[in-house]
Chains A and B, each alone.
Chain A
Protein backbone atom coordinates (compact mmCIF):
# COMPACT_ATOMS: atom_id res chain seq x y z
CA UNK A 1 0.00 0.00 0.00
CA UNK A 2 1.25 3.46 -0.84
CA UNK A 3 1.15 5.30 2.46
CA UNK A 4 1.84 8.62 0.79
CA UNK A 5 -1.40 8.53 -1.13
CA UNK A 6 -3.91 6.53 0.86
CA UNK A 7 -7.50 7.10 -0.21
CA UNK A 8 -8.82 10.01 1.83
CA UNK A 9 -11.99 8.03 2.48
CA UNK A 10 -9.99 5.73 4.75
CA UNK A 11 -9.17 8.77 6.88
CA UNK A 12 -12.85 9.75 6.84
CA UNK A 13 -13.77 6.37 8.29
CA UNK A 14 -11.17 6.64 11.06
CA UNK A 15 -12.39 10.13 11.99
CA UNK A 16 -16.02 9.02 12.10
CA UNK A 17 -15.26 5.98 14.24
CA UNK A 18 -13.00 8.08 16.48
CA UNK A 19 -15.94 10.34 17.21
CA UNK A 20 -18.73 7.79 17.44
CA UNK A 21 -17.13 5.14 19.67
CA UNK A 22 -15.95 7.40 22.55
CA UNK A 23 -19.41 9.01 22.61
CA UNK A 24 -20.95 5.64 23.36
CA UNK A 25 -18.37 4.70 26.02
CA UNK A 26 -17.81 6.25 29.43
CA UNK A 27 -14.34 7.35 30.51
CA UNK A 28 -12.81 10.71 31.33
CA UNK A 29 -9.65 12.80 31.45
CA UNK A 30 -8.82 15.34 34.17
CA UNK A 31 -9.48 18.94 33.13
CA UNK A 32 -7.41 21.94 34.17
CA UNK A 33 -8.67 25.42 33.28
CA UNK A 34 -6.43 27.76 31.32
CA UNK A 35 -5.89 31.42 32.06
CA UNK A 36 -8.28 33.05 29.54
CA UNK A 37 -11.12 30.88 30.85
CA UNK A 38 -10.30 31.63 34.48
CA UNK A 39 -10.44 35.32 33.57
CA UNK A 40 -14.01 34.88 32.31
CA UNK A 41 -14.94 33.14 35.54
CA UNK A 42 -13.37 35.96 37.59
CA UNK A 43 -15.29 38.55 35.58
CA UNK A 44 -18.60 36.93 36.51
CA UNK A 45 -17.48 36.71 40.14
CA UNK A 46 -16.62 40.43 40.06
CA UNK A 47 -20.05 41.22 38.61
CA UNK A 48 -21.72 39.16 41.34
CA UNK A 49 -20.18 41.54 43.87
CA UNK A 50 -21.72 44.63 42.26
CA UNK A 51 -24.99 46.19 43.32
CA UNK A 52 -27.98 44.90 41.24
CA UNK A 53 -25.71 43.11 38.78
CA UNK A 54 -26.92 42.91 35.17
CA UNK A 55 -25.11 41.23 32.30
CA UNK A 56 -25.82 41.58 28.59
CA UNK A 57 -25.37 38.27 26.79
CA UNK A 58 -25.20 38.51 23.03
CA UNK A 59 -25.92 35.29 21.17
CA UNK A 60 -23.97 35.76 17.96
CA UNK A 61 -24.06 32.18 16.78
CA UNK A 62 -26.51 30.00 14.95
CA UNK A 63 -27.34 26.32 14.92
CA UNK A 64 -24.43 25.39 12.66
CA UNK A 65 -22.01 25.95 15.57
CA UNK A 66 -24.44 24.84 18.25
CA UNK A 67 -22.31 21.89 19.41
CA UNK A 68 -19.46 24.24 20.31
CA UNK A 69 -21.36 27.27 21.51
CA UNK A 70 -24.44 26.01 23.32
CA UNK A 71 -22.45 24.35 26.15
CA UNK A 72 -20.74 27.72 26.74
CA UNK A 73 -24.04 29.55 26.86
CA UNK A 74 -25.40 27.04 29.36
CA UNK A 75 -22.27 27.28 31.52
CA UNK A 76 -22.21 31.06 31.80
CA UNK A 77 -25.97 31.25 32.34
CA UNK A 78 -25.67 28.69 35.14
CA UNK A 79 -22.87 30.70 36.67
CA UNK A 80 -24.82 33.96 36.39
CA UNK A 81 -28.10 32.62 37.74
CA UNK A 82 -26.41 30.75 40.59
CA UNK A 83 -24.86 34.06 41.70
CA UNK A 84 -28.13 36.02 41.25
CA UNK A 85 -26.85 38.01 38.31
CA UNK A 86 -29.62 39.27 36.03
CA UNK A 87 -29.31 38.53 32.35
CA UNK A 88 -30.54 40.39 29.29
CA UNK A 89 -30.01 38.41 26.12
CA UNK A 90 -29.96 39.59 22.51
CA UNK A 91 -29.16 38.04 19.14
CA UNK A 92 -26.99 39.56 16.46
CA UNK A 93 -27.31 36.71 13.99
CA UNK A 94 -30.57 35.77 12.34
CA UNK A 95 -30.68 32.10 13.25
CA UNK A 96 -29.68 32.55 16.88
CA UNK A 97 -32.99 33.29 18.69
CA UNK A 98 -34.11 29.67 18.90
CA UNK A 99 -30.96 28.60 20.68
CA UNK A 100 -30.95 31.61 22.98
CA UNK A 101 -34.53 31.06 24.09
CA UNK A 102 -33.89 27.38 24.63
CA UNK A 103 -30.82 28.03 26.81
CA UNK A 104 -32.50 30.79 28.84
CA UNK A 105 -35.67 28.79 29.42
CA UNK A 106 -33.80 25.69 30.49
CA UNK A 107 -31.26 27.29 32.83
CA UNK A 108 -33.84 29.79 34.07
CA UNK A 109 -36.06 26.91 35.13
CA UNK A 110 -33.14 25.09 36.77
CA UNK A 111 -32.58 28.06 39.09
CA UNK A 112 -36.22 29.11 39.45
CA UNK A 113 -35.67 32.42 37.69
CA UNK A 114 -38.60 34.45 36.43
CA UNK A 115 -38.83 35.91 32.92
CA UNK A 116 -38.92 39.69 32.91
CA UNK A 117 -37.58 40.04 36.43
CA UNK A 118 -34.44 37.92 36.45
CA UNK A 119 -33.84 37.69 32.75
CA UNK A 120 -35.25 38.82 29.43
CA UNK A 121 -34.73 38.04 25.79
CA UNK A 122 -35.00 40.89 23.31
CA UNK A 123 -34.74 39.04 20.01
CA UNK A 124 -32.71 39.55 16.86
CA UNK A 125 -31.69 42.73 15.13
CA UNK A 126 -30.14 42.73 11.62
CA UNK A 127 -27.29 45.03 10.62
CA UNK A 128 -24.21 43.19 11.92
CA UNK A 129 -22.50 45.87 14.04
CA UNK A 130 -25.05 48.62 13.47
CA UNK A 131 -27.22 47.59 16.47
CA UNK A 132 -24.15 47.91 18.71
CA UNK A 133 -23.78 51.59 17.88
CA UNK A 134 -27.50 51.93 18.46
CA UNK A 135 -27.32 50.26 21.89
CA UNK A 136 -24.35 52.36 22.88
CA UNK A 137 -26.43 55.48 22.22
CA UNK A 138 -29.81 54.46 23.49
CA UNK A 139 -30.68 50.94 24.56
CA UNK A 140 -34.46 51.40 24.49
CA UNK A 141 -34.31 52.88 21.03
CA UNK A 142 -32.37 49.86 19.79
CA UNK A 143 -34.81 47.43 21.40
CA UNK A 144 -38.23 49.04 21.60
CA UNK A 145 -39.72 45.66 22.55
CA UNK A 146 -38.59 42.32 23.88
CA UNK A 147 -38.96 39.11 21.87
CA UNK A 148 -42.50 38.66 23.22
CA UNK A 149 -43.48 42.09 21.86
CA UNK A 150 -43.74 43.66 25.32
CA UNK A 151 -42.70 47.30 25.37
CA UNK A 152 -39.19 47.44 26.78
CA UNK A 153 -40.15 49.87 29.54
CA UNK A 154 -42.57 47.22 30.80
CA UNK A 155 -39.84 44.60 31.15
CA UNK A 156 -38.54 45.21 34.70
CA UNK A 157 -35.01 43.88 34.21
CA UNK A 158 -34.43 46.12 31.18
CA UNK A 159 -36.51 49.14 32.16
CA UNK A 160 -33.62 51.03 33.78
CA UNK A 161 -30.95 50.26 31.21
CA UNK A 162 -30.09 53.40 29.27
CA UNK A 163 -27.07 52.30 27.28
CA UNK A 164 -24.32 49.70 27.20
CA UNK A 165 -22.47 51.29 30.10
CA UNK A 166 -25.30 50.34 32.44
CA UNK A 167 -24.27 46.70 32.14
CA UNK A 168 -21.73 45.34 34.58
CA UNK A 169 -20.46 43.08 31.82
CA UNK A 170 -21.18 42.48 28.17
CA UNK A 171 -20.60 38.90 27.10
CA UNK A 172 -20.60 37.85 23.47
CA UNK A 173 -20.99 34.27 22.32
CA UNK A 174 -19.54 34.32 18.85
CA UNK A 175 -19.17 32.01 15.91
CA UNK A 176 -17.99 34.61 13.42
CA UNK A 177 -16.94 38.23 13.10
CA UNK A 178 -18.87 39.55 16.05
CA UNK A 179 -16.06 39.88 18.62
CA UNK A 180 -13.25 41.18 16.47
CA UNK A 181 -15.15 43.21 13.91
CA UNK A 182 -18.37 44.26 15.67
CA UNK A 183 -18.12 44.46 19.43
CA UNK A 184 -14.52 45.63 19.74
CA UNK A 185 -14.34 48.37 17.08
CA UNK A 186 -17.95 49.56 17.32
CA UNK A 187 -18.67 48.95 20.99
CA UNK A 188 -15.80 48.48 23.45
CA UNK A 189 -13.57 50.95 21.65
CA UNK A 190 -16.04 53.81 22.06
CA UNK A 191 -18.13 53.06 25.11
CA UNK A 192 -15.49 51.26 27.24
CA UNK A 193 -17.76 48.76 28.94
CA UNK A 194 -16.23 45.58 30.40
CA UNK A 195 -16.31 42.96 27.67
CA UNK A 196 -15.69 39.22 27.69
CA UNK A 197 -16.51 36.52 25.21
CA UNK A 198 -16.85 32.91 24.30
CA UNK A 199 -16.02 31.85 20.78
CA UNK A 200 -15.48 28.89 18.50
CA UNK A 201 -12.01 27.41 18.64
CA UNK A 202 -11.35 28.69 15.12
CA UNK A 203 -11.47 32.28 16.27
CA UNK A 204 -9.58 31.85 19.51
CA UNK A 205 -6.03 32.29 18.13
CA UNK A 206 -7.04 35.58 16.50
CA UNK A 207 -8.26 37.01 19.78
CA UNK A 208 -5.11 36.71 21.88
CA UNK A 209 -3.90 40.22 20.98
CA UNK A 210 -7.16 41.61 22.40
CA UNK A 211 -6.78 39.58 25.57
CA UNK A 212 -3.36 41.08 26.20
CA UNK A 213 -4.56 44.62 25.48
CA UNK A 214 -7.54 43.98 27.79
CA UNK A 215 -10.04 44.96 25.11
CA UNK A 216 -11.25 41.48 25.88
CA UNK A 217 -11.18 40.68 29.58
CA UNK A 218 -11.60 36.95 29.29
CA UNK A 219 -12.14 34.35 26.60
CA UNK A 220 -13.57 30.88 26.40
CA UNK A 221 -12.42 29.17 23.21
CA UNK A 222 -14.20 26.19 21.72
CA UNK A 223 -15.53 23.06 23.32
CA UNK A 224 -12.34 22.72 25.38
CA UNK A 225 -12.92 26.19 26.84
CA UNK A 226 -16.50 25.27 27.65
CA UNK A 227 -15.35 22.08 29.36
CA UNK A 228 -12.92 24.11 31.47
CA UNK A 229 -15.71 26.47 32.46
CA UNK A 230 -17.94 23.57 33.39
CA UNK A 231 -15.08 22.39 35.57
CA UNK A 232 -14.77 25.83 37.24
CA UNK A 233 -18.47 26.05 38.11
CA UNK A 234 -18.40 22.35 39.00
CA UNK A 235 -21.34 21.41 36.78
CA UNK A 236 -20.11 19.00 34.10
CA UNK A 237 -22.20 19.19 30.92
CA UNK A 238 -22.04 18.15 27.31
CA UNK A 239 -18.66 19.87 26.74
CA UNK A 240 -17.00 17.70 29.37
CA UNK A 241 -18.54 14.64 27.75
CA UNK A 242 -17.42 15.80 24.31
CA UNK A 243 -13.80 15.97 25.47
CA UNK A 244 -13.55 12.19 25.20
CA UNK A 245 -14.32 12.11 21.50
CA UNK A 246 -12.28 15.26 21.02
CA UNK A 247 -9.18 13.78 22.67
CA UNK A 248 -9.39 10.53 20.76
CA UNK A 249 -9.86 12.12 17.33
CA UNK A 250 -7.04 14.59 17.94
CA UNK A 251 -4.74 11.66 18.62
CA UNK A 252 -5.98 9.88 15.50
CA UNK A 253 -5.25 12.92 13.32
CA UNK A 254 -1.82 13.43 14.90
CA UNK A 255 -1.09 9.76 14.26
CA UNK A 256 -2.06 10.18 10.62
CA UNK A 257 0.14 13.25 10.27
CA UNK A 258 3.11 11.41 11.80
CA UNK A 259 2.42 8.41 9.57
CA UNK A 260 2.32 10.66 6.53
CA UNK A 261 5.64 12.22 7.49
CA UNK A 262 7.26 8.88 8.18
CA UNK A 263 6.17 7.66 4.76
CA UNK A 264 7.38 10.89 3.19
CA UNK A 265 10.87 10.63 4.70
CA UNK A 266 11.08 6.94 3.93
CA UNK A 267 10.24 7.58 0.29
CA UNK A 268 12.78 10.40 0.12
CA UNK A 269 15.50 8.17 1.52
CA UNK A 270 14.70 5.60 -1.16
CA UNK A 271 15.18 8.20 -3.85
CA UNK A 272 18.51 9.44 -2.49
CA UNK A 273 19.86 5.97 -1.75
Chain B
Protein backbone atom coordinates (compact mmCIF):
# COMPACT_ATOMS: atom_id res chain seq x y z
CA UNK B 1 0.00 0.00 0.00
CA UNK B 2 1.40 3.39 -0.93
CA UNK B 3 1.67 6.28 1.50
CA UNK B 4 -1.03 8.09 -0.45
CA UNK B 5 -3.47 5.28 0.06
CA UNK B 6 -2.67 5.00 3.78
CA UNK B 7 -3.20 8.69 4.20
CA UNK B 8 -6.45 8.58 2.28
CA UNK B 9 -7.91 5.68 4.24
CA UNK B 10 -6.61 7.02 7.53
CA UNK B 11 -8.16 10.40 6.97
CA UNK B 12 -11.51 9.07 5.84
CA UNK B 13 -11.63 6.77 8.85
CA UNK B 14 -10.71 9.51 11.31
CA UNK B 15 -13.10 11.94 9.70
CA UNK B 16 -15.92 9.39 9.97
CA UNK B 17 -15.16 8.75 13.65
CA UNK B 18 -15.05 12.46 14.51
CA UNK B 19 -18.36 13.07 12.76
CA UNK B 20 -19.90 10.04 14.41
CA UNK B 21 -18.91 11.46 17.79
CA UNK B 22 -20.30 14.87 16.86
CA UNK B 23 -23.58 13.36 15.68
CA UNK B 24 -23.79 10.95 18.60
CA UNK B 25 -22.99 13.68 21.12
CA UNK B 26 -25.78 15.84 19.74
CA UNK B 27 -23.44 18.62 18.53
CA UNK B 28 -24.66 18.10 14.99
CA UNK B 29 -28.15 16.87 14.03
CA UNK B 30 -29.16 14.82 11.01
CA UNK B 31 -30.41 17.79 8.93
CA UNK B 32 -29.12 19.28 5.68
CA UNK B 33 -27.29 22.05 7.52
CA UNK B 34 -25.25 19.61 9.57
CA UNK B 35 -24.53 17.54 6.50
CA UNK B 36 -23.36 20.75 4.84
CA UNK B 37 -21.04 21.56 7.74
CA UNK B 38 -19.56 18.07 7.54
CA UNK B 39 -19.03 18.31 3.78
CA UNK B 40 -17.50 21.77 4.12
CA UNK B 41 -15.19 20.61 6.92
CA UNK B 42 -14.11 17.62 4.84
CA UNK B 43 -13.35 19.80 1.82
CA UNK B 44 -11.53 22.36 3.97
CA UNK B 45 -9.24 19.75 5.46
CA UNK B 46 -8.73 18.08 2.07
CA UNK B 47 -7.59 21.32 0.52
CA UNK B 48 -5.34 22.12 3.49
CA UNK B 49 -3.72 18.70 3.01
CA UNK B 50 -1.96 20.21 -0.02
CA UNK B 51 0.22 22.07 2.47
CA UNK B 52 1.72 18.70 3.35
CA UNK B 53 1.99 17.62 -0.29
CA UNK B 54 -0.15 16.84 -3.32
CA UNK B 55 -2.40 13.85 -2.55
CA UNK B 56 -5.67 12.20 -3.61
CA UNK B 57 -7.73 14.16 -1.10
CA UNK B 58 -6.59 17.45 -2.55
CA UNK B 59 -7.10 16.22 -6.09
CA UNK B 60 -10.62 15.16 -5.27
CA UNK B 61 -11.52 18.43 -3.58
CA UNK B 62 -9.85 20.45 -6.35
CA UNK B 63 -11.86 18.76 -9.09
CA UNK B 64 -15.15 18.96 -7.19
CA UNK B 65 -14.45 22.66 -6.70
CA UNK B 66 -13.64 23.26 -10.38
CA UNK B 67 -16.85 21.53 -11.49
CA UNK B 68 -19.12 23.20 -8.96
CA UNK B 69 -17.62 26.63 -9.61
CA UNK B 70 -18.20 26.32 -13.36
CA UNK B 71 -21.88 25.53 -12.84
CA UNK B 72 -22.23 28.11 -10.10
CA UNK B 73 -21.14 30.87 -12.46
CA UNK B 74 -23.56 29.41 -15.02
CA UNK B 75 -26.39 29.97 -12.53
CA UNK B 76 -25.30 33.53 -11.92
CA UNK B 77 -25.02 34.51 -15.57
CA UNK B 78 -28.24 32.79 -16.48
CA UNK B 79 -30.53 34.23 -13.82
CA UNK B 80 -28.91 37.64 -13.40
CA UNK B 81 -28.12 38.48 -16.98
CA UNK B 82 -29.28 36.17 -19.77
CA UNK B 83 -32.67 35.40 -18.28
CA UNK B 84 -33.01 38.41 -15.95
CA UNK B 85 -31.91 41.11 -18.37
CA UNK B 86 -32.38 39.68 -21.85
CA UNK B 87 -35.11 37.05 -22.02
CA UNK B 88 -37.50 38.73 -19.58
CA UNK B 89 -37.35 41.93 -21.57
CA UNK B 90 -37.26 40.46 -25.08
CA UNK B 91 -40.35 38.36 -24.45
CA UNK B 92 -42.05 40.75 -21.99
CA UNK B 93 -42.31 38.14 -19.26
CA UNK B 94 -44.31 39.12 -16.19
CA UNK B 95 -44.89 42.82 -15.52
CA UNK B 96 -41.67 43.90 -17.24
CA UNK B 97 -41.87 47.64 -17.97
CA UNK B 98 -39.59 47.62 -21.05
CA UNK B 99 -40.53 49.58 -24.19
CA UNK B 100 -40.39 48.33 -27.77
CA UNK B 101 -37.27 50.42 -28.46
CA UNK B 102 -35.54 48.86 -25.48
CA UNK B 103 -36.51 45.43 -26.77
CA UNK B 104 -35.16 46.13 -30.23
CA UNK B 105 -31.92 47.53 -28.83
CA UNK B 106 -31.45 44.38 -26.78
CA UNK B 107 -31.18 42.45 -30.02
CA UNK B 108 -27.77 44.04 -30.62
CA UNK B 109 -25.96 42.60 -27.60
CA UNK B 110 -27.83 39.32 -28.08
CA UNK B 111 -26.52 38.99 -31.62
CA UNK B 112 -23.03 40.12 -30.62
CA UNK B 113 -23.19 37.56 -27.83
CA UNK B 114 -24.14 34.77 -30.21
CA UNK B 115 -21.29 35.84 -32.48
CA UNK B 116 -18.86 35.21 -29.61
CA UNK B 117 -19.98 31.61 -29.65
CA UNK B 118 -18.92 31.25 -33.31
CA UNK B 119 -15.43 30.68 -31.88
CA UNK B 120 -16.48 27.12 -31.25
CA UNK B 121 -16.26 26.33 -34.97
CA UNK B 122 -13.07 26.95 -36.95
CA UNK B 123 -14.92 28.11 -40.08
CA UNK B 124 -17.03 30.78 -38.44
CA UNK B 125 -14.54 31.82 -35.75
CA UNK B 126 -13.72 35.11 -37.47
CA UNK B 127 -17.23 36.39 -36.74
CA UNK B 128 -16.37 36.47 -33.05
CA UNK B 129 -13.86 39.22 -33.80
CA UNK B 130 -16.77 41.61 -34.27
CA UNK B 131 -17.82 41.02 -30.71
CA UNK B 132 -14.26 41.23 -29.39
CA UNK B 133 -13.87 44.51 -31.24
CA UNK B 134 -16.96 45.82 -29.48
CA UNK B 135 -15.85 44.71 -26.01
CA UNK B 136 -12.31 46.00 -26.41
CA UNK B 137 -13.29 49.20 -28.24
CA UNK B 138 -15.93 50.29 -25.75
CA UNK B 139 -13.68 49.35 -22.83
CA UNK B 140 -10.87 51.44 -24.29
CA UNK B 141 -13.16 54.38 -24.99
CA UNK B 142 -14.57 54.44 -21.49
CA UNK B 143 -11.07 54.24 -20.06
CA UNK B 144 -9.37 57.27 -21.59
CA UNK B 145 -11.26 60.28 -20.16
CA UNK B 146 -11.97 58.59 -16.85
CA UNK B 147 -8.37 57.63 -16.21
CA UNK B 148 -7.26 61.15 -17.05
CA UNK B 149 -9.70 62.53 -14.54
CA UNK B 150 -9.56 59.98 -11.72
CA UNK B 151 -5.93 58.88 -11.84
CA UNK B 152 -4.03 61.75 -13.43
CA UNK B 153 -5.73 65.07 -12.65
CA UNK B 154 -7.11 64.06 -9.26
CA UNK B 155 -3.73 62.71 -8.22
CA UNK B 156 -1.61 65.58 -9.51
CA UNK B 157 -3.70 68.35 -8.01
CA UNK B 158 -3.34 67.39 -4.32
CA UNK B 159 0.43 66.96 -4.84
CA UNK B 160 0.95 70.54 -5.97
CA UNK B 161 -0.16 72.47 -2.93
CA UNK B 162 1.68 75.40 -1.37
CA UNK B 163 4.59 74.07 0.67
CA UNK B 164 4.50 75.33 4.23
CA UNK B 165 7.32 75.53 6.76
CA UNK B 166 6.04 72.82 9.09
CA UNK B 167 5.68 69.05 9.33
CA UNK B 168 2.89 68.98 6.73
CA UNK B 169 5.08 70.93 4.37
CA UNK B 170 7.94 68.49 4.89
CA UNK B 171 5.64 65.55 4.21
CA UNK B 172 4.39 67.25 1.07
CA UNK B 173 7.98 67.71 -0.14
CA UNK B 174 8.68 64.03 0.60
CA UNK B 175 5.60 62.99 -1.34
CA UNK B 176 6.73 65.16 -4.24
CA UNK B 177 10.20 63.59 -4.20
CA UNK B 178 8.68 60.12 -4.02
CA UNK B 179 6.24 60.65 -6.89
CA UNK B 180 8.88 62.14 -9.16
CA UNK B 181 11.59 59.58 -8.40
CA UNK B 182 9.19 56.70 -8.97
CA UNK B 183 8.16 58.25 -12.29
CA UNK B 184 11.84 58.54 -13.21
CA UNK B 185 12.45 54.90 -12.27
CA UNK B 186 9.89 53.91 -14.89
CA UNK B 187 11.52 55.99 -17.61
CA UNK B 188 12.56 53.69 -20.42
CA UNK B 189 14.16 56.15 -22.82
CA UNK B 190 17.34 56.66 -20.80
CA UNK B 191 19.77 54.32 -19.08
CA UNK B 192 19.78 54.47 -15.31
CA UNK B 193 23.18 56.17 -15.00
CA UNK B 194 24.48 59.38 -13.45
CA UNK B 195 21.84 61.78 -12.15
CA UNK B 196 18.95 59.77 -13.55
CA UNK B 197 20.43 56.68 -11.94
CA UNK B 198 20.61 58.45 -8.58
CA UNK B 199 17.01 59.65 -8.77
CA UNK B 200 15.74 56.24 -9.82
CA UNK B 201 17.64 54.72 -6.87
CA UNK B 202 15.60 56.98 -4.58
CA UNK B 203 12.55 55.79 -6.50
CA UNK B 204 13.45 52.21 -5.65
CA UNK B 205 13.61 53.06 -1.95
CA UNK B 206 10.12 54.48 -2.09
CA UNK B 207 8.94 51.43 -4.02
CA UNK B 208 10.52 49.13 -1.45
CA UNK B 209 8.74 50.87 1.40
CA UNK B 210 5.43 50.54 -0.39
CA UNK B 211 6.16 46.86 -1.12
CA UNK B 212 6.93 46.40 2.55
CA UNK B 213 3.66 48.11 3.42
CA UNK B 214 1.73 45.91 1.01
CA UNK B 215 3.47 42.82 2.31
CA UNK B 216 2.72 43.70 5.94
CA UNK B 217 -0.89 44.49 5.18
CA UNK B 218 -1.31 41.35 3.10
CA UNK B 219 -0.01 39.19 5.91
CA UNK B 220 -2.64 40.83 8.09
CA UNK B 221 -5.37 40.14 5.53
CA UNK B 222 -4.49 36.52 4.94
CA UNK B 223 -4.25 35.77 8.64
CA UNK B 224 -7.71 37.28 9.10
CA UNK B 225 -9.02 34.83 6.53
CA UNK B 226 -7.28 31.95 8.26
CA UNK B 227 -8.82 33.10 11.53
CA UNK B 228 -12.23 32.90 9.86
CA UNK B 229 -11.57 29.41 8.54
CA UNK B 230 -10.18 28.10 11.81
CA UNK B 231 -13.19 29.55 13.56
CA UNK B 232 -15.41 27.55 11.20
CA UNK B 233 -13.56 24.33 11.98
CA UNK B 234 -13.38 24.88 15.73
CA UNK B 235 -16.80 26.39 16.26
CA UNK B 236 -19.28 25.40 13.55
CA UNK B 237 -17.91 21.91 13.12
CA UNK B 238 -16.10 20.77 16.27
CA UNK B 239 -17.91 23.03 18.76
CA UNK B 240 -14.83 23.52 20.91
CA UNK B 241 -14.78 27.34 21.05
Direct contact of A and B (CB under 8 A): yes
Interface, chain A (partner B; CB < 8 A): 9, 12, 15-16, 19-20, 23-24, 64-68, 94-95, 123-126, 144, 151, 184-186, 188-190, 200-202, 204-206, 209, 212-215, 221-224, 242, 245-246, 249-250, 253
Contacts A23-B234, A94-B73 known; A213 to B155 CB distance under 8 Å?
yes
Q: In B86-125, which residues have CB < 8 Å from any A CB?
A: 95-97
Is the pair A201, B218 in contact by a Cβ cutoff of 8 Å? yes
Contact with A along B147-168 (1 / 0, CB 8 A): 1011100110110000000000
B146 at the binding interface (Cβ < 8 Å): yes
Is the pair A222, B220 in contact by a Cβ cutoff of 8 Å? yes
Is the pair B77, A126 in contact by a Cβ cutoff of 8 Å? yes
Is the pair A242, B214 in contact by a Cβ cutoff of 8 Å? no
20 A-B interface contacts by CB (under 8 A) = A15-B226, A19-B230, A67-B224, A67-B225, A68-B228, A125-B80, A126-B81, A189-B146, A189-B150, A200-B224, A201-B217, A202-B214, A205-B217, A215-B154, A221-B217, A222-B224, A223-B220, A223-B221, A223-B224, A250-B220
B227 at the binding interface (Cβ < 8 Å): yes
Residue of B nearest to A130 (CB): B142
User: Shortest beta-carbon distance, B238 to chain A, in Å?
Assistant: 11
Is the pair B76, A246 in contact by a Cβ cutoff of 8 Å? no
Is the pair A213, B146 in contact by a Cβ cutoff of 8 Å? no
B223's partner among A20, A209, A214, A250 (CB-CB below 8 A) is A250
User: Shortest beta-carbon distance, A219 to chain B, in Å?
Assistant: 12
Interchain CA distance A195-B125 in the complex, whole Å: 44
User: Shortest beta-carbon distance, A258 to chain B, in Å?
Assistant: 14
Interchain CA distance A23-B227 in the complex, whole Å: 8
User: Shortest beta-carbon distance, A147 to chain B, in Å?
Assistant: 11
B240 at the binding interface (Cβ < 8 Å): yes
Contact with A along B60-98 (1 / 0, CB 8 A): 000000000000110011001100000000000001110
Query: Which of chain A's residues have a CB closer than 8 A to the CB of B218?
Result: 201-202
User: Shortest beta-carbon distance, B154 to chain A, in Å?
Assistant: 5
Q: Is the interface of A mostly helix, strand, loop or mixed?
A: helix
Is the pair B234, A20 in contact by a Cβ cutoff of 8 Å? yes
Query: Which of chain A's residues have a CB closer than 8 A to the CB of B18?
Result: none
Query: Which of chain B's residues have a CB closer than 8 A to the CB of A9?
Result: 51-52
Q: Closest 9 interchain pairs by CB? A: A67-B228, A201-B221, A185-B150, A223-B224, A189-B150, A185-B146, A94-B76, A213-B158, A201-B220
User: Shortest beta-carbon distance, B101 to chain A, in Å?
Assistant: 13
Interface, chain B (partner A; CB < 8 A): 51-52, 72-73, 76-77, 80-81, 95-97, 142, 146-147, 149-151, 154-155, 157-158, 210, 213-214, 217-221, 223-231, 234, 240-241
Query: Which of chain A's residues have a CB closer than 8 A to the CB of B225?
Result: 64-65, 67-68
Interchain CA distance A259-B234 in the complex, whole Å: 30
Is the pair A189, B149 in contact by a Cβ cutoff of 8 Å? yes
Contacts A205-B210, A205-B217, A246-B223 known; A185 to B151 CB distance under 8 Å?
yes
Interchain CA distance A221-B73 in the complex, whole Å: 29
Contacts A68-B225, A201-B218, A222-B217 known; A20 to B150 CB distance under 8 Å?
no
Query: Which of chain A's residues have a CB closer than 8 A to the CB of B147?
Result: 185
Is the pair A126, B80 in contact by a Cβ cutoff of 8 Å? yes
Residue of A nearest to B217 (CB): A201
User: Shortest beta-carbon distance, A220 to chain B, in Å?
Assistant: 13
Interchain CA distance A209-B220 in the complex, whole Å: 21
Query: Which of chain A's residues have a CB closer than 8 A to the CB of B157?
Result: 213
Interchain CA distance A144-B99 in the complex, whole Å: 13
User: Shortest beta-carbon distance, A157 to chain B, in Å?
Assistant: 20
Is the pair A205, B220 in contact by a Cβ cutoff of 8 Å? no
User: Shortest beta-carbon distance, A18 to chain B, in Å?
Assistant: 9
Query: Which of chain A's residues have a CB closer than 8 A to the CB of B226?
Result: 15-16, 19, 249
Is the pair B217, A223 in contact by a Cβ cutoff of 8 Å? no
Interchain CA distance A184-B154 in the complex, whole Å: 10
Residue of B nearest to A245 (CB): B227
Query: Which of chain A's residues have a CB closer than 8 A to the CB of B77?
Result: 126
Query: Which of chain A's residues have a CB closer than 8 A to the CB of B214?
Result: 202, 205-206
Query: Which of chain B's residues have a CB closer than 8 A to the CB of A202?
Result: 214, 217-218, 221
Residue of A nearest to B81 (CB): A126
